[in-house]
Homo-oligomer: A and B are copies of this chain.
């Protein structure tokens, strides 16, 4: 669907096309229809957000209540929410964590009167849990503002997916790595590198790659969407790379883990390794 098509469509067609972007609230799209034409996707999103802001406090509470609980079973939710929660595995968590979410959901709803709303595409599961705990303790005004901000993030990503056109809001982060063999002063080619998501004591493998002639691990590159906020670990298989040097067994450096946090989902994270058999340096590059 292009922005031009949306600008040219009837109000009913427009509302049908975008009615699901804001959860259980097709009236948001209907209100934005009257403000056409839009020059950019960002302007379209701004108009929809304006419609939410124009509601009365009671209407706003009703709107917030229209969102599904997080990680809940047997709850009606829109197709967008179903897909987003499933991508993160929130529909198939271990029983103990499911219980934690259940307890948080109940306490949150009891305190604020609406479900906990968060843009799940911008966070790892561990980070969602930490944020759930933090936000449960906020004062009510701050929490309503945070919930609206998250709805803005959620719907911006949905619009970017749905609509082609100029002026798409930037919604992509970038993660990359690079390995230099400082013993030779050359890129380290042919080194295995893995990327893990860290969730407490668990490490969940996300991707694996082998560095190319320029020392880059292209297949690990994350591009095209937000970087989920959370903790990660790169593991560089340095031992096999330097094998045959007779440095004793085990070598000083075998697997080199580099653990780092991502706090900016739309940021640029370059995490290189400068390595030799007896030392290494890593840093947040750019």
Contacts and interface: CB of A to CB of B under 8 A. Distances in A.
Given A180-B285, A185-B247, A254 B231 contact: yes
A281 interface: yes
A161 to B, nearest CB: 26
A182 B279 contact: yes
A253 interface: yes
A138 to B, nearest CB: 14
Given A180-B285, A259-B257, A185 B231 contact: no
Interface residues of A, number: 45
B279 A180 contact: yes
Contacts of A277: 182-185
Contact of A278 (B183, B253, B262, B280): B183
Copies in the complex: 4
Interface in A96-148: 127
Interface in A255-279: 255-257, 259-264, 274, 276-279
A282 B283 contact: no
A260 B253 CA distance: 5
B183 A183 contact: yes
A251 B247 contact: no
A280 B281 contact: yes
A226 interface: no
Given A251-B263, A259-B256, A286-B180, A281 B278 contact: no
Contacts of A224: none
Contacts of A233: 257
Contacts of A261: 239, 248-254
Contacts of A281: 274, 279-281
A259 B256 CA distance: 6
Interface string A223-250: 0000001110100000100000001111
A3 B256 CA distance: 47
Contacts of A279: 180, 182, 185, 274, 276, 281-284
A218 interface: no
B276 A183 contact: yes
A183 to B, nearest CB: 4
A276 to B, nearest CB: 4
Nearest to A261: B250
Contacts of A283: 180, 182, 185, 274, 278-280
20 contacts: A180-B279, A182-B183, A183-B183, A183-B277, A183-B278, A185-B247, A229-B250, A230-B250, A247-B263, A250-B262, A250-B263, A251-B263, A252-B263, A253-B259, A253-B260, A254-B259, A257-B259, A274-B283, A278-B283, A279-B284
Given A182-B276, A183-B276, 6 more contacts: A180-B278, A185-B247, A185-B279, A249-B263, A279-B282, A281-B281
